Amino acid sequence: MATAIRLAKKAYAVEVFEANDYVGGKLSTFNLGNYRFDAGPSLFTMPQFVDDLFELCGENSEEFFEYKRKDISCRYFWEDGKRLTAYGDTDRFLSEVEEKLRVPKSTLKRYLNKAKKKFDRTRPLFLERSLHQWKTYLRKQTLEGIANYFSFEIDTSLNSINQAQLKEPHLVQFYNRFATYNGSNPYKTPGMMTLVQHLEQYYGTYIPKKGMGDISASLYELAKRMGVVFHLNSSVAEILIENKRAIGVRVKKEKHAADLVVSNMDIVPTYRKLLPRQKQPIKTLSQERSSSAVIFYWGISKPFPQLDLHNIFFSDDYAAEFDAIFNTKTLSHDPTVYVNITCKDVPTDAPEGKENWFVMINAPHNTGQDWTAMAQQLREWVITKLNRNLNADIASLIEEEWIMTPDIIEQRTQSYLGALYGASSNDKMAAFLRHPNFSREISNLYFCGGSVHPGGGIPLCLLSAKIVSDLIPAP
Ligand SMILES: Cc1cc2nc3c(=O)[nH]c(=O)nc-3n(C[C@H](O)[C@H](O)[C@H](O)COP(=O)(O)OP(=O)(O)OC[C@H]3O[C@@H](n4cnc5c(N)ncnc54)[C@H](O)[C@@H]3O)c2cc1C
């Protein structure tokens, strides 16, 4: 939708073909009884990328899309009784870490400053431009970034960097967790990834006033105001190619002509299903996929004042958990449990005195596991863990329930193997191996969304839309 808005602003007549009967893909919402749930993303960072779209179209974003900054990013719980509140305000967070974990402020400050430098140096290279055009590499900022190669800590794993720089085990686990923000394994993904936490700690975390679904809903309305035409229930079966040019798309038997085509479908099925006769970029398509998730959506009949919008209950054995996700492709019996409760900030999301719990556990991508059996087993492990940590009887409080598994994520969005973020970033060259935002073979075919450059997650998907529209000349 962000790409559609940007191209409509460039004066293209844009048509969007969406397979589902709703827009937003992973970023959509649904109701269970009197509870509202966001289906996928729950953490909102870099809201300015949404604002930019309204401003580009000459509108005041505040009139159409409201959000607020969170004072508390997340509450953390460990099995040994340690508790930590991640405050948005950095000074307050440094004091919290010093008080609860006995790590001097100066140690963590040094770590955060290094991460900031990495982010500032890589932003112009990795995030805001196509990585696959020579002119990107000739820019002064890019050359400066390359000259600072060693400061990116690319040859060591995130876990090793965190252990060397932070030492305290709870804090190491805390910062290892940020690898999961792009579906990667902290024991493999490079130390460069310390910059992921920077988005949260430095730029802050936010919540839309009507919940995450309002990101999609408000962009859908903006796109329509810009003249974009949406065709729902319209699964594209083929991108039509003639003489190395895209000439439109086919939906069932109907052909729709176009001057150019942008695919937001996951890049693997885009090639395999929509472009089967074109040259396949085998190396790119065979990159390891990111992790997926099992999510329990629970209507809970009692409030939990000790919880906030985002809450993490850490595994006692993080290494075993990631070994299960990425190596044996199973689930750990002591998983890290994330509980997101939007009614803490959007009170209408649950009946009074009750809470809407989105309980997510990182899981392997779908390689044909028996997800029904695995989810039932996981449900028991998760409830036991939450009961222990919250001193509660969670099973007796669940009055509504739906369960999402990696195979369902794959069916609903066509994401290859149900991966949440396209390819994982476990390989140090992952950023360069992601598919470019354009086709090298077909001059007027482009790609956006979480499975191509610059990567998965809402902010990067919105940046992919900007990169694509910058690549496309005005009509
Ligand atoms: C459970 C979960 C939790 C997440 N948590 C976060 C988070 O907290 N913060 C964050 O920033 N990100 C998070 N993410 C990642 C984020 O949701 C994705 O990176 C992002 O939404 C991907 O957007 P996309 O447009 O690339 O893909 P999708 O949202 O998958 O959209 C693809 C769209 O294309 C449609 N489509 C596919 N094939 C066709 C076809 N042939 N014809 C027509 N239409 C087609 C699909 O129906 C879908 O609507 C999470 C994802 C999940 C699933």
pLDDT tens for 332-380 read: 999 999 999 999 999 999 999 999 999 999 999 999 999 999 999 999 9
Return the number of other C-beta atoms located less than 10 Å from residue 306's C-beta. Answer: 12
Cα end-to-end span (Å), the chain = 19
Q: Would you say the CB of residue 291 lies under 6 angstroms from ligand 1?
A: no
Nearest to 101 by CA among 160, 40, 169: 169
- Before 190, cis peptide (omega within 30)? no
Report which ligand 1 atom has the smallest distance to the Cα of 422. Answer: 19
Nearest to 337 by CA among 213, 220, 180: 180
As beta bridge partners, residue 256 has 249
Q: Would you say the CB of residue 122 lies under 6 angstroms from ligand 1?
A: no
Find tokens 């002064």 and name the residue: 140
Distance from C-alpha of 253 to C-alpha of 255, rounded to nearest angstrom? 7
List the helix and strand counts (H, then E) for the chain.
18, 18
What residues contact 133, with CB distance under 8 A and at least 6 apart?
none
Average pLDDT for 137-146: 64
What's the pLDDT score for residue 118? 87
Q: Where are the alpha helices (DSSP H) in 102-212?
A: 105-122, 134-137, 140-147, 158-166, 169-176, 194-201
Q: Would you say the CB of residue 295 lies under 6 angstroms from ligand 1?
A: yes
**What is the 288 CA–ligand 1 centroid distance (Å)?**
18
Q: Cβ distance 69 to 204 under 8 Å?
A: yes
What residues contact 105, with CB distance under 8 A and at least 6 apart?
94, 95, 97, 98
Q: Would you say the CB of residue 43 lies under 6 angstroms from ligand 1?
A: yes
**What is the 298 CA–ligand 1 centroid distance (Å)?**
22
Distance from C-alpha of 125 to C-alpha of 144, rounded to nearest angstrom? 10
Burial of 440 (0-12, 13-18, 19+ CB in 10 A): exposed
**What is the 27 CA–ligand 1 centroid distance (Å)?**
6
Q: Cβ distance 264 to 3 under 8 Å?
A: yes
**What is the 43 CA–ligand 1 centroid distance (Å)?**
14
pLDDT of residue 148 exceeding 80: no
DSSP 8-class letter at 165? H
Q: Would you say the CB of residue 205 lies under 6 angstroms from ligand 1?
A: no
Report which ligand 1 atom has the smallest distance to the Cα of 459. Answer: 11
What's the pLDDT score for residue 151? 73
- Could you read off the pLDDT of 213-258 as tens digits, one per residue? 999 999 999 999 999 999 999 999 999 999 999 999 999 999 999 9
What's the pLDDT score for residue 195? 87
Q: Cβ distance 342 to 349 under 8 Å?
A: yes
Angle, to 10 degrees, between the axis of helix 158-166 and the axis of helix 105-122?
A: 150
**What is the 409 CA–ligand 1 centroid distance (Å)?**
9
Angle, to 10 degrees, between the axis of helix 169-176 and the axis of helix 158-166?
A: 150
Q: Which helix (H) or strand (E) holds 231?
A: strand 229-231
Distance from C-alpha of 390 to C-alpha of 160, rounded to nearest angstrom? 32
**Whose Cα sits closest to atom 16 in ligand 1?**
457
pLDDT of residue 123 exceeding 80: no
Report which ligand 1 atom has the smallest distance to the Cα of 404. Answer: 1
Among 18-22, 122-126, 247-251, 436-440, the range scoring the smallest mean pLDDT is: 122-126
**What is the 135 CA–ligand 1 centroid distance (Å)?**
30
